Amino acid sequence: MPVVEDIIRPYILGRISYKVLLLTYKSLHALAPQYLSDILHPHAPPRNLRSSDSGLLTTPRTKLRTFGDRAYSVAAPTLWNALPAEIRNIPTLDAFKRALKSHLFAKAFGP
């Protein structure tokens, strides 16, 4: 049933991304347990760049491409860095949830 897969697959991937990004937002704003916040590290380029204050996270390298990339310590920074800066910098949790849902829906099903 390829039609069903075309509808279900983007929904499931979007839901997983939503959960990971919401947990990442909470971790960065001290709304999640400390051990999750300790996993995430802000990106610190060696030189002073305009992107230094963009809220990016450092993505650790993994040896195993598929298995290692599924870990929260890798998946969270990868998804977070892919978000537009205006969504990453939203100050309140409720506004972040609304903007994130809209962004993921538009990404999955088109504008």
The fraction of the chain above a pLDDT of 90, given in percent, is 48
* DSSP assignment of 58-82: PPPP-SSHHHHTTSHHHHHHHHHHH
**77 close to 18: Cβ distance less than 8 angstroms:** no
Q: What is the distance, to the nearest Å, from the Cα of residue 16 to the centroid of all Cα atoms in its chain? A: 10
Cα distance between residue 81 and residue 92, in whole Å: 19
**74 close to 59: Cβ distance less than 8 angstroms:** yes
Q: What is the mean pLDDT of residues 97-105?
A: 95
Coil, helix or strand at residue 10: helix
Q: What's the whole-model pTM score? A: 0.83
